[in-house]
Every structure is written in C-alpha cells, then in structure tokens.
Amino acid sequence: MDFAERSIGLRAARVAQGWSQSDAAHALARTAADRGMRVAVPASLKTQLSRWENGHAVPEAPYRILLAELYGRTAVELGLERTAHTDPEPDPAGRLRARVAAAAAVDGAVVALWQRQLTTLQELDDRLGAPGAAAAIRVLVDQLEAVLPHLPERDHRRAVAALLSRAAALAGIQALDAGDPDSADARFVAAADAATAAGVPALSVAPALGRAAALVEVGEAVAALAVLQHDGLEHVDPHHRAQLSAATGAVRAAAGHTESDLRLAVDIALPPAGLAVEHVADLHQRQVTPVPPDPAQIARWLGAQARAVARESTDPTSSSAAR
C-alpha cells in the first residue's frame, strides 16, 4: 500500500471535523503556535495539506506530530506511519549500505548539530512534556543508533555514543511519564550501553535511576537493587555516588527492608546531592510513621531523580558532559 492509499485517513480525519482544507490549515497553524513551533503560513499549509491528502508528498516528522494532535488520532490512524501490513521494508542489503553511508558523512559539524538538536529537544520536553518532544527524540535515537556501529573515527564514535546515551535516557524518562515502564526500561538499557561505549561513567547514573524506577513500578524492587549495584557505577564521582546511595536506600525500603533504609536515603540525598526537596518531602514524613513506604511513590521519586541527572548531563557546560 503506497502513501496515496494510506493518506485517505488524513482526508477522512479532516472531513470528520467538518473542515475545509483552509479551515484545517488555519487550525494547524494555531496548534503549531501553541506549541512554539514555526510552520508555513496558512496559505502555504493549505497547499501542503492538499498534497498530503492526495498522496503527492509525505509530511515531515514535525508536521506528523502536529497533525496527530490536531485530529486527535495516531499517526498510524492518519496513514502517516507504516504498520506491519503496509509498505514492505527496504531490502536488508540496502538498509546496511544506507547506514554505512550515513556514518561516513558524520563529522564534527554533524555531531555539533546533533548536540544542539538534543539541547533543543530537552528544552521542549521541559516546557511541553513528552507530547512536545517524544516523537522527535525517538527519531534522534534511531539516527544515532543506526550510525554508531559504523563510525570509523574513535573520537566521533565516543561523541555520538555520549549523545545517544543522553537522548535514550530522555526517551526512557518520557516513557516513564507516559506509564510505559517496559519501553522505558529498554531505552534506559540502551542509554547505559551507550554510556559505556562513550567511556563516561557519569552518563550511567540517569539510566540506572530510571531503570530502578521502572522496575520498582512493576514490583521488581530486588531487580532494581541489582541495577543500582551494577559494576561500573562505583567509578562515578561523589555527587553521583550520593544520589545512587539515596536511591539504593529507597529501593531497599520498597523491597520491604526497614524504614531506616528510607530515612537513610533521604538523609543522604538532600545535602550533598542537591535533590529537589519537593520530591522527597513526602518520603521524609515516613520517618515518623510505621506505615511501610509506598513503592509507587518511591518509583516516582526515582524517576524525578533520573530526570534531574539527565537534564544536568545534556548541558554541555556541566561537569558530567565535559568528562
């Protein structure tokens, strides 16, 4: 099935709203403005909508996100993304050649562009949450994963691995926010592997905290403890060791250990690590009550710490990013 056939869903969504193409163009422009995104003027958007609906062109990723939001449907429902029953994939040899060619084009300027893109997406995530950046982050992660194994230069390989670690950690945090701990765990695993490839121990901290959050959320606190005690994390700086120690105490509490574990976690976390007080205040209250800590609350706290560490590491001026 080609795009011309699949684009019927896009036209049907507009008709269901009772809109002309001009109405839809103006609504799309307003949606973009609300999200702080720059798009073409309505007159040009009307022309583009006509081309998309007639199958003469495929919307680029930012427009696919806006169209899905505008019509309240998924990209697949609108015919903007393939499913297992639509277009066949390119041949395997062609896919490999494309990845090798893309890797050969990577130089310092491309890496710098990816860094700026990641910084922008982090800012969008801060302002708009996952709906404003999730799809673009997934695209960036896919790009970095595709070229990383084929980069010939060691320095470029390490730089791209560091970017992949940061981007995959952000994707994992967004999946946690969306209530998808399984996808979150997979993204955090990719982020941890990329941190190892980059040779930057500090980048392993956010994935560890994120995986712990996902595992505690599904009732696997013992597995979460194993993640936080994984080999390699002992090499991080004192700031991050304090955060990991606090997380370990919280996870031990979630696993049914003594309340003193949770008290220790909070006491360790607050002064040296500078963790946000609002995320631990409720936990701290449990020092004076015999009620066991709520694992769901601990999972949310761990997720908040993963986000804080990931935000720090995406800043190229931070000590973590510089290492």
Each residue's pLDDT tens digit, 129-138 = 766 678 788 8
Instruction: Return the pLDDT at 90.
Output: 52
Q: Can you tell me which residue has the tokens 């470029």?
A: 156
Its pTM stands at 0.63
Each residue's pLDDT tens digit, 208-248 = 999 999 999 998 988 998 898 876 677 778 778 877 888 88
Tally of CB atoms within 10 A around 303: 24
% residues pLDDT > 70 (the chain)? 77
| H helix or E strand, kind and range, residue 302 | helix 295-313
* Residues near 207 by beta carbon (within 8 Å), at least 6 away in sequence: 165, 168, 169, 172, 188, 189, 191, 192, 195, 306
Length of the chain: 323
Instruction: Give the residue-averaged pLDDT of 123-145.
Output: 80
Instruction: Return the pLDDT at 162.
Output: 95
Q: Can you tell me which residue has the tokens 């684009």?
A: 7
Instruction: Return the pLDDT at 260.
Output: 57
CA distance 58 to 80: 8
